[in-house]
């Protein structure tokens, strides 16, 4: 059987790479991460999810992936990746297309930018958690 080959775009879909099996396209929806983190997408717990996002302001949340390391790669623009590592914060500047960071399993991380930036992510989806980024109190 011949598989149909259609061109897709990484900014409008996720790719789910199952352990030892085929990859499948998963449409991006506004509720995707809420569904994943609430356990409503158990079929995505194994393997890795790959997608890319374009953003031009700091993320509103921190995230972490207890199921494994995450690849974060800059495709265009520039961003500061902030990781909470034990009792310290690590700040990593990504300013060259193709530059990447492997975020360790379970490390809370967020990104900051003020220019249009596109990043690629290869993520272990199982157990992903989010928490809000709180703005510092102004006095």
| Tokens (6 digits) for 77 | 């623009």
Neighbours of 11 (CB within 10 A): 13
As a whole number of angstroms, the distance between CA 103 and CA 123 comes to: 10
DSSP H or E run through 55: strand 48-55
pLDDT at 3: 58
pLDDT at 105: 95
CATH superfamily of 13-127: Jelly Rolls (2.60.120.10)
Find all residues with CB under 8 Å of 38, minimum gap 6, and list them. Answer: none
pLDDT at 137: 47
Low-confidence spans in the chain with pLDDT less than 70 = 1-5, 135-139
pLDDT at 125: 78
**Where are the chain's structural domains?**
13-127
pLDDT at 136: 54
pLDDT at 70: 96
Predicted TM-score of the model (pTM): 0.85
Helix spans in the chain (H): 32-37
- Give per-residue pLDDT as tens, 78-98: 999 999 988 899 999 999 999
């Amino acid at each position: 059987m011949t598989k149909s080959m259609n061109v897709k775009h990484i900014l409008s879909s996720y790719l789910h790479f199952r352990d030892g099996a085929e990859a499948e396209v998963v449409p991006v929806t506004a509720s995707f991460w809420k569904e994943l983190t609430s356990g409503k997408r158990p079929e995505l717990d194994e393997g890795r999810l790959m997608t890319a996002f374009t953003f031009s302001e700091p993320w509103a949340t921190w995230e972490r992936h207890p199921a494994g390391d995450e690849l974060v790669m800059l495709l265009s623009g520039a961003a500061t990746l902030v990781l909470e590592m034990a009792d310290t914060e690590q700040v990593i500047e990504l300013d060259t297309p193709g530059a990447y960071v492997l975020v360790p399993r379970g490390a809370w991380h967020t990104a900051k930018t003020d220019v249009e930036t596109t990043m690629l992510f290869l993520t272990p989806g199982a157990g992903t958690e989010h928490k809000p980024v709180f703005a510092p109190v102004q006095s």
